[in-house]
Amino acid sequence: MKLRMKLRVKMLLSVLIVAVVVFLASIGFLTSRLEKITLRNAFNFVDATAREYANSIQSSFDNELGMARSLAQSFYFYNELSSNELKENSKRTLNGIALNNPKFLSVWISWELSVLDKNWNKPYGRERYTFYWENAQLKFITDQKNLNGDEPGSLYYQLKTSMLEAVVDPYWFTYTGSNKRVLETSICVPLVKDNKFIGLFGFDIELSRYQEYINNIKPYAGSSAMLLSQNGTIVAHSILENTGVRIDSIYANENKNHNLLDKLNKGEKFSISYTDANDGKKYYATFVSFTVGTSINPWSLAIIAPEDVIIQEAQDVASKSRTVIFVGLFVLAIVVWIIAFSITRPLVKTTKVLGELANGQIDLSKKISINSGDEIQDIGTSVNILIDSLYKTTNFAKEIGKGNLNTSFSKLSENDVLGEALLEMRKSLEYAKELDDKRKSEEEKARWANEGVALFADILRQNTDNMNEFTYEVIHHLVKYVNANIGALFLINTDYQDRYFELASSYAYERRKYEEKRINYGEGLVGRCAKEGETIFMTELPKDYVKIASGLGEENPNCLLIVPLKLNDEVYGVIEMASFEVLEDYKINFVEKIGESIAATISNVKVNIRTAKLLEESRIKSEELASQEEEMRQNMEELQATQEEAARKTAEMESLINALNSSSFVIEYDLNGKIISVNQAYLALTGQPEKDVIGTHHSDNLEFTEEQKINYQKFWTDLRNGIIKKETNKVSIGGKTYTFIETYSPILDETRHVAKILKIAHNITDFIETKGSKKSKKE
C-alpha cells in the first residue's frame, strides 16, 4: 500500500532531511572558507576604499585641469588677434578667472615671445602674465623669461617639447608679507596648434584642501592614509607633520624592500604587507595611482591598515556566521512547516486569476497579494506584473489610438515581444507624423515664399520711374518680410571709368536713412560679394562691422546676409541685411531668388530712366536744332558773302605772291634764325638744291661788317619783338659773292604772337659791280 501524504508534508520532510544533511556536511568547510573569504574581502575593501577616494581626488583635479584646458582652448584662434588685442584678452580673461575662483593661488599664461612679437624669430623666449592673491588682494605681474634660450632640464622645457598636460610635483612657496609656507602645485595645459607649441596655461593651487579627504579615510580602526605625488612627496597625511616630506624619509625600510619610489614614479597600482619598526605590528598598505587628464605625472593614494584589526574582524564574522547557521537551521524547520501550509492556498488563488486572464478579463483589482518571500511570491509577483503589463499595454494602445504618441511605455524585459511590437508600432507612427510635420513645414515655407514672390512682384511694378523710391520700397518690405532688423541696398554706378557701389536706400526700425556711402568694386564684404557674385552669410561678424540701435542702446547683430542682385551673371547691386535672429536657409534662398527679379527690375528701371532722360534731351536738342538751323541759314548767307570776298582777296593774294616770287627772293626763318622755306628764284640764283638750304642758319655764308657783328643779337631780338628790319648784306655761296637789299617782316599767328620771320630780298650785285667799275674808270 502506497503511503499518501499531503503536499505540504512532503515539502516539509524533504526540505528538512536535505537541509540537515547538507548543513552538517558543509558547516565545517563553509566556516573555514568564510573566514578566508572575509579576510580577503577585508583587504579588497581597503583596496576599494583607496580606489574610491583616488577617483574622488582625481575628479577634483580633472575639474581644475578642465578649466585650464578651457582657458587654453579659448585662445585657439589667437592668430586672428593683433599682438595688443591678444595681450589685453589674456589679462582680462585671467583677471576674470582669478576674481571668480579665489581658491586658485594664482592664474597665469606664458606665451611664446614669437607669438606676441612678429619680429622675434627665435625658437625660445616667453612672456608671462600672472594674477595672484596676496594678503586678500589680487595683484598682477608680467615678466619675460628664457630670452637667451630654454633650459633643457627645466619643467617648462619638458612641457614645451612633450606638449602634454601636467600636474607639477608639489613645492613649498612663501608669499610676500607672510611667513606662512604653502605647499602647492601647478596645473599646466599647453596650447598647441598645427603641431606647434604656442604657450602654457595654468593655475597654482594650494594642496592643503586635500587634507580633509585624507582625514575622512578610516576603513578600520588605527588605519591611516596619504596622498603622494609622482616623486614621492607626501601631499597630505593622516599625521599632519608628515605632510611635505618624501615617503622614503618616513618609510625608509619599506622603500628599500619594495622600491616604493620607483613604483610611484611609474604610476603602478600595488599593495604590500610590512612590519612597522616602531610598534612591531604588521600593516597592510595599498597604493592606487591616478593620472589627471593627459598629464605625464601620475599621483597615488595610499591607505595603511593594521592587519590584526582586519584579521580579528574576519574571525568575528566567521564566529557569528556559525551561530547564525545553527540558528538558521532551527528557524528553517519552523519556516518550512509554515510555508508548507501557506503554499497551497496562494497556488489555488493564482490558478484562478490566471484562468480569468486567459479569458481576457484584465482588471487591476484581480492582483493577488502574496508575501511568502519565496517562489510562490515570485509567481504571485509575476502574475501581478502580467496584470500590470496587460493593463499598461491596453492603455498604451488606447492612447496611441487617440494620437497621443508621447505616451510613456517600457518593455518588461529584453524578451518582451509584445512590448517590442508596440514600441515599433509607435516608432512607425512617430516617423509618419514626423514626415507629415516636415511636409507641412515645407508647405508652409513654400507658401511663405510664394506669397513673398507675389508681394514683391507687385512692389517691383511700382515706382519704376523713380530709382530712390523704388529701392526704398524694396529694402523696406524685404527687411520686414524676412523679419530682419536693418538693411541696405547698394547699386552699381558705371557712369565713370571706375566701377563702384552707391548706397541707394537703407532701412532700420521703420525710419528711412539717407546716408552717403560709396564702396569700391571688390572692397569690403559688399564689394567682395559683388565681385565674386556669391551670397555671403555670417553668424560671427567682424568687430564693429555694424550696430543695430534701439531705445536701449546699440547691439551687435547675430547674423549678416549679403546677396548679389545678379541677372545673367551681371551684378546690378547688392542687398545687405543684419538681424538679431539667425536667418533660416529658406529665407536666404528666398532673398537670392527675389534678388534676380530685383536685378531685372533695376535693369529695366535704369533703362526707363535713361530712355526718359534721352527723350527729354532729344526734345531739347530738337528745339535747339531748329533755332540753330535758322541761325545757320543766316550764317550761311553771311558765309557765302564772306567766301566771295575771301575768294576775291585770295586771288589777289595769289597774284601778289606770284609777282613777289617772280621779282624777289623770299626766305622764311624760324625764331631761332634757321631757314624753314625758300622760293625757287633764290635756289636758281645760287644754284643750290632746297635740301641743302633748309635748316641752315641765317648767319651761314654771311659776310659781317664790324657793326653787324656787334648788333647781330639785337637784330634778332627786335625781330622776335615784332619790329621790321631792313638790311643790306653780302652772302658768299659757291665761291661767288651776292649783295642783297633785304626786308625782314615778323609774321604773327592767331594769338598775335610772332611765329616766324619773312625775308624779301633783291639782288643788287650787278648794280654794285657796275657802279664800282664806273668809279674805277673815272679815276
Q: DSSP for 507-556?
A: EETTEEE----EEETT-HHHHHHHHHT--EEESSPPTTS--EEETTEEE-
pLDDT band at 511 (very low <50, low <70, confident <90, very high): very low
pLDDT band at 178 (very low <50, low <70, confident <90, very high): low
Lowest mean pLDDT among 350-359, 451-460, 578-587, 744-753: 350-359
For position 458, what pLDDT does the model report? 82
Task: Between 521 and 74, name the one with better pLDDT.
Answer: 74
Helix 467-481 vs helix 585-663: angle between axes, to the nearest 10 degrees? Answer: 160
User: Exposed/middle/buried for 221, CB within 10 Å: 0-12, 13-18, 19+?
Assistant: exposed
pLDDT above 50: residue 457: yes
Torsion of CA 693, 696, 698, 701, to 10 degrees: -70
Lowest mean pLDDT among 183-192, 568-577, 581-590, 614-623: 614-623
pLDDT above 80: residue 329: no
- φ, ψ for residue 505, nearest 5 deg: -155, 150
What number is the average pLDDT over the span 522-529?
Answer: 84
pLDDT above 80: residue 352: no
For position 772, what pLDDT does the model report? 63
Torsion of CA 611, 617, 618, 620, to 10 degrees: 150
Torsion of CA 704, 708, 712, 715, to 10 degrees: -130
Are 764 and 675 within 8 A, CB to CB?
A: no
CA 584 to CA 445: how far, in whole Å? 10
For position 4, what pLDDT does the model report? 59
**Which residue in 145, 124, 270, 88 sits closest to 197, CA to CA?**
124
Question: How far does the chain reach from its first CA to its final CA, in angstroms?
Answer: 213
Residue type, 286: T
pLDDT tens for 215-262 read: 888 888 889 999 999 889 999 998 888 898 998 888 888 888 899 889
For position 294, what pLDDT does the model report? 80
For position 1, what pLDDT does the model report? 47
Percent of the chain, pLDDT > 90? Answer: 18
pLDDT band at 514 (very low <50, low <70, confident <90, very high): very low
What number is the average pLDDT over the span 389-411?
Answer: 71
Check residue 754 and report its DSSP letter. Answer: E
What number is the average pLDDT over the span 431-439?
Answer: 81
For position 405, what pLDDT does the model report? 64
For position 288, what pLDDT does the model report? 93
- φ, ψ for residue 670, nearest 5 deg: -85, 180
pLDDT above 60: residue 775: no
pLDDT band at 469 (very low <50, low <70, confident <90, very high): confident
Q: Within 13 Å, how many C-alpha atoms sit on residue 589's CB side?
A: 8
Residues near 567 by beta carbon (within 8 Å), at least 6 away in sequence: 596, 599, 600, 603
What number is the average pLDDT over the span 640-662?
Answer: 76
CA 665 to CA 678: how far, in whole Å? 8
**Which residue in 777, 772, 745 sits closest to 758, CA to CA?**
745
Q: What is the mean pLDDT of the chain?
A: 82
CA 718 to CA 746: how far, in whole Å? 9
For position 6, what pLDDT does the model report? 57
What number is the average pLDDT over the span 705-727?
Answer: 89
For position 189, what pLDDT does the model report? 93
CA 285 to CA 272: how far, in whole Å? 5
Task: Between 106 and 467, name the one with better pLDDT.
Answer: 106
Are 200 and 191 within 8 A, CB to CB?
A: yes
Are 225 and 214 within 8 A, CB to CB?
A: yes
For position 680, what pLDDT does the model report? 87
For position 513, what pLDDT does the model report? 40
**Which residue in 720, 724, 717, 670 sits closest to 697, CA to CA?**
670
C-alpha cell at 553: 542702446
Lowest mean pLDDT among 350-359, 593-602, 723-732: 350-359
C-alpha cell at 618: 532729344
Beta strand spans in 253-376 (E): 270-275, 282-290, 299-306
Torsion of CA 94, 99, 103, 106, to 10 degrees: 40
Task: Between 305 and 628, name the one with better pLDDT.
Answer: 305
pLDDT band at 196 (very low <50, low <70, confident <90, very high): very high
Secondary structure element (H or E) that encloses residue 138, with its range: strand 137-145
C-alpha cell at 629: 538751323
What number is the average pLDDT over the span 168-179?
Answer: 78
pLDDT band at 93 (very low <50, low <70, confident <90, very high): very high
